[in-house]
Amino acid sequence: MPPRTGTGSIAAMSLARLWTFMAVALPMLASLLATLSTVDLAYHLRAGSEILAARAIPTVDAWTFTAFGQPWVDQQWGAQVILQGIHAIGGWVGLAIARALLIGAIFGGLLVIARRRGLDARTAGLLVLASFLVATPALALRPQLLGMACFVLVLFLVTERRARPRLLWLVPVVVAVWANLHGSFFLGPLVVGLAWLQDVHDRSSRPHRTLAVAFVSALAACLTPFGPFVWAYAVGLSVNPEVTARITEWQPTSIRTVPGLLFFGSVAAVIVLIARRGRVVSWPSLAWLAIFAAIGVYAERGLAWWALGAVPIVAEELLHPSVAPSRPEPALLRRLNLVVAALLVVAGLAILPTWRPVDPRTGAPQGLLSAAPPGVTDAVRDLAQPGDRLFQPQPWGSWFEFAVPSLPVVIDSRIELFTPDVWDHYVGVVAGVDGWQDRLTAWEVTIVVTTAETNSNAFADRLIGAGWVEVYRDVDGRVLVRTGREVARNLPGVLARRATFGAVTSRTGLLASSA
């Protein structure tokens, strides 16, 4: 018979262990409930596949007709190889599970840091869950998520620098790997530099060691195929006017959005904790918090770095509680804790996408992908012929590059590749400015895809008025071909697939004709 007391009981779980479990399990559970966005992920998968096949990193664009042949600094090549490797082994389900494991590692690492900084299990668990809530909008599966895992690892090594100083020399190794995964690698040397300021302020032994590690980490970031240029790439991308003006997540965080409200609310909560603290917070800690808050203000994409980066300071400086005497927990309560943990595990297994039927049009379990319209994709795949060019919504560019690799697209998620003129022409075509038809002709566009949104429908109607032929329509969008383009040869395939997936497309029907 198992023991009835003690936190190590086989049939029971202490409240402290339950908080520890929930701080990791709840973020993982939430990630399994979320869709996989293909807006960035799909083109990373294609790049990873081509890198593995050619054993070389691409240096120019070969996927679009507006930037074809333009130089492409594929700094995230390492992440692309990793993501494609997971996809090759486990498919879309494997990627969904990998995201959950990554998120579990990130917030599990934060939990360890909070505990090492002095928090009890309950307070640490609540702090980590609050961090997850603020960071959630930035936790899509893409290279940045791998960068976050590297970031948390650096935070841990910095946390341990006084207890185990030799571990700090692992930071340059982490940064060298990080610099081949994502452009956020500069945060590694930054964190070590901020730790050095703390060491100087606290008059700890050997602060010069921390400064040396920061310097070596900055040099280690150059261990990429691009050498020191990787620094120029990271800085240039963050200040590129086309990126910051056209991509929502690169624009300043707004309090008028839910992510913005959560971010500014968390900053306000930290300010309140500072004001209520019994003694003055050290200026290096204030500088640490201010820098990561500024990163969050600068762009919505940066709010996750605040959510993760603030945890060590908040844990050590603002929430460190006095040690309270432990109280024995009733056996019934400890068993209920175990039941709660077991239910979370069962829920996680139940919502795994592996149980869903696979949609053959996307190759993914139904409902798992976003920005991947299945019916429209199938129609385009059937219609596409050599020499075709696709004009599609920018968020779908990455998906079509992956799903129909033989078909050049107008524009994709690599925003920095395209000149301002290309962006102006792209927006002008959709908006119907003077000369929009001539631009489509100059670009030799033969297939146009639109979404089901009002503005896109107006664009599709303008195309029909100009003589284009609508060959497919469903709840996601419409497919049109240029007048004079021979489509009859491929339309039987489109119609056959409509018969197979009629329940999906029949709400708006399929219009088919040949030019």
How does pLDDT run across 100-120, given as a tens digit for each residue? 999 999 999 999 999 999 899
pLDDT for 416 equals 85
pLDDT for 249 equals 75
pLDDT for 455 equals 80
Instruction: Answer yes or no: is pLDDT of 2 > 80.
Output: no
How does pLDDT run across 6-62, given as a tens digit for each residue? 444 456 778 888 899 999 999 999 999 999 999 999 999 999 999 999 999 999 999
Mean pLDDT of the region 292-316:
92
When comparing pLDDT for 429 and 494, which is higher? 429
pLDDT tier for residue 328 given thresholds of 50, 70 and 90: confident
Which residues, in sequence order, are CB contacts of 263 under 8 Å at separation 6+?
134, 253, 296, 303, 306, 307
Residue 467 φ then ψ, to 5°: 105, 0
Q: How far, in Å, CA of 246 to CA of 74, rounded?
A: 20
Cα angle value 323/327/331 (rounded, 5°): 145
pLDDT tier for residue 206 given thresholds of 50, 70 and 90: confident
pTM value is 0.90
Domain ranges of the chain: 15-33+73-318, 371-505
DSSP 121: H
Mean pLDDT of the region 169-177:
97
How does pLDDT run across 219-240, given as a tens digit for each residue? 999 999 999 999 888 887 777 7
Q: How far, in Å, CA of 103 to CA of 138, rounded?
A: 11
Q: 439-445, long-range: CB within 8 Å, 24+ apart, which pairs?
A: 440/391, 440/482, 443/65, 443/66, 443/389, 443/391, 443/410, 444/65, 444/389, 445/389, 445/390, 445/391, 445/410, 445/482
Q: What is the mean pLDDT of the chain?
A: 88
Instruction: Answer yes or no: is pLDDT of 242 > 80.
Output: no
How does pLDDT run across 363-415, given as a tens digit for each residue? 999 999 999 999 999 999 999 999 999 999 999 999 999 999 999 999 999 98
pLDDT tier for residue 443 given thresholds of 50, 70 and 90: very high
